[in-house]
Amino acid sequence: MNYKEIEKMPMFFIVGRGRSGTTLLQTILDANPNVIIPLESRLIIHLKKKYFQITNWNKNIINEFVEDLYKEREFCRSWHIDKETLRQKIDSFPKDQLSYQTLCKIIYLSYPSPFDKQQTLIIGDKKPLYSIFIPDIIEVFPDAKFIHIIRDYRDNIVSNRKVFSRKNVALLAYAWKHFNMKIEKEKEKRRNAFYTIKYEDLATFPEKFAIEICNFLEIKFYPQMLDFHKKVKERYNQYKVKEIKDLHPNMMNPVNTSQIAKWKKELSYSEVEVAEFIAGDYAKRYGYDPTVNNRKFRNPISSLAGLIRYKMDNLVIKTYYKLPFFVRSIIRNFSDKFYVWFGYTNYYNRLDFMLKSKK
């Protein structure tokens, strides 16, 4: 593929609160022979502050760019792209025509998907964190399309509590609400660039909505997209990928409705009460009706701590990616040492270390 073809290749992004079916949708689409959509990485915002404005790319800058890319933990853990091969591929393109946008596309196109590919017509990305960085994504890829997937906030809370360390229902309810509010805010500006789907609809009628999504992306639907689980299971059996087993075990099964309405058995009445107090009114726009009518006075009090913690999370993440790259490198190095010396990590990189330790 030549430089001009890569430069013109369209991009799309799957956004939504984590544990809303983003990985299911990513895998279905990656099973399309005309789509490349890698596993999660923060590479766009990881590198953007340092490299987005560069116009005079040369060998030294490219070498530094590649080295900085491989400091991104998710990329190193999941993408399995050989560093020297990637460097040589980038070197094969005319340096005076390179841009940050095109370099990102070259990286995506280097991803060794487990699914068979024909001609790649579109590049995708799935990273729930990008839901709060959509303006940054649009700055890099002005013509990008977005698939917004949303899930019942109560089931989303159940799934997040199982996988991640945070158990506070109020915190998780606020996170669900604010992630989707941020997406809706951007959707108001570029309605034609967004397609919204409910997880429950995709799980119940997978072929119908997979066809709709393909039409939105202007690509062909292939029935084998819904057989993705066979390849995922094969990959797990071959490599024992812990990330599949620990985070997405349901991906080794056909699309099913087993994860819908689990909250009815797994959340207590008081937890449902708190979640619905925080997110219930907003969730009605998506058809998720609250079930608790009695909203006790204690709910504003019990939810306040969750709101404060969510605001702190958002501030930390936003501030971190505004820092100069060398400052973030220092923070990452200290984080690595604390984990090696004391087994200590914090919420913001716990998953990275958890999966790293299970390789």
Task: Quick: pLDDT tens for 309-323.
Answer: 999 999 999 999 999
Q: By the 8 A CB rule, do 44 and 140 touch?
A: yes
Is residue 183 predicted with pLDDT exceeding 80?
A: yes
Beta-carbon neighbour count of residue 251 at 10 Å? 21
Give the pLDDT band of residue 359 (cuts 50, 70, 90).
very low
Task: State how far the Cα of 262 lies from the Cα of 159, in Å rounded to an integer.
Answer: 9
Do residues 15 and 211 make contact, with C-beta atoms less than 8 angstroms apart? no
Residue 347: what pLDDT? Answer: 59
What per-residue string of b and e applies to 54-73 under the rule 16 or more CB within 10 Å gives b?
eeebeeeebeebbebbeebb
User: How is 25-91 classified by DSSP, letter by letter?
Assistant: HHHHHHTSTTEE--S---HHHHHHHHHTT-----HHHHHHHHHHHTT-HHHHHHT---HHHHHHHHH
Task: State the Cα–Cα distance between residues 337 and 340, nearest whole angstrom.
Answer: 5
pLDDT digits (tens, 9 = 90+) for 41-91: 999 999 999 999 999 999 999 999 999 999 998 999 889 999 999 999 999
- CA pair distance 353, 356, nearest whole angstrom: 5
How far, in Å, CA of 107 to CA of 111, rounded?
A: 7
pLDDT tens readout for residues 266-285: 999 989 999 999 999 999 99
**Which amino acid would we find at residue 219?**
I
